[in-house]
């Protein structure tokens, strides 16, 4: 009974994540707007890799850009198949202004407990009108990187 409830919960969570992780573009503020504290988010499409789903979002508040990589299960385990185990994954997050400075990079072991997991730590202040390109990849022994990318223009 516990396995069925868990499978249903994971299936529902995976469906919700798939809907939320679809490519999005935040709407621009109306002309003449002066409120620069609004945060907009632009996300990449999802990428599937070894039973995982990854995507990358750029959160823009005024001229500040923060990159956030996401990891989740791609869906519930196959009926009768083994249930995945939590594990450490090697994650690599990086960002840069296209044609300009790096916003940094962060490569580290990240504990993935089978729930939606975020990886943060790359970002900074960027001149308006600049394009920021971010990259996020996940690897584990036995499979190579398959990074997702996102580009976002910092509004003026």
CA atoms within a 13 Å half-sphere pointing along the CA-CB vector of 154:
23
Region 111-122 average pLDDT: 95
At residue 96's C-alpha, the angle toward residues 28 and 49, to 5°, is 90
Q: What is the pLDDT of residue 85?
A: 87
32 lies in a domain?
Answer: no
49 lies in a domain?
Answer: yes
pLDDT top residue among 144 and 149: 149
Q: Whole-prediction pTM value?
A: 0.74
pLDDT top residue among 6 and 144: 144
51 lies in a domain?
Answer: yes
Element (H, E) at 116: none
Domain total for the chain? 1
29 lies in a domain?
Answer: no
- Per-residue model confidence as pLDDT tens digits over 6-65: 343 444 444 444 444 444 444 444 444 444 579 999 999 999 988 899 999 999 999 999
Region 120-127 average pLDDT: 96
- Per-residue model confidence as pLDDT tens digits over 70-99: 999 998 878 887 888 899 999 999 999 999
**Residues pairing with 97 in the sheet:** 132
Domain that holds residue 76: 2-22+39-153
């Amino acid at each position: 009974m516990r396995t069925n409830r868990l499978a249903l919960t994971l299936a529902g969570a995976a469906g919700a994540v798939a809907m939320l992780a679809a490519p999005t573009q935040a709407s621009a503020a109306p002309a003449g707007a002066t409120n620069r504290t609004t945060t907009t988010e632009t996300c990449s499409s999802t990428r599937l890799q070894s039973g995982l789903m990854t995507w990358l979002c750029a959160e823009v508040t005024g001229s500040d850009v923060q990159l956030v990589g996401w990891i989740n299960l791609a869906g519930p385990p196959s009926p009768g198949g083994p249930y995945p185990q939590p594990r450490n994954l090697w994650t690599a997050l990086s960002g840069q202004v296209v044609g300009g400075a790096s916003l940094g990079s962060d490569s580290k072991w990240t504990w993935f407990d089978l729930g939606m997991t975020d990886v943060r730590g790359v970002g900074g202040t960027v001149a308006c009108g600049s394009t920021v390109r971010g990259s996020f990849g996940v690897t584990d022994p036995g499979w190579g990187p398959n990074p997702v990318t996102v580009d976002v223009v910092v509004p003026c």
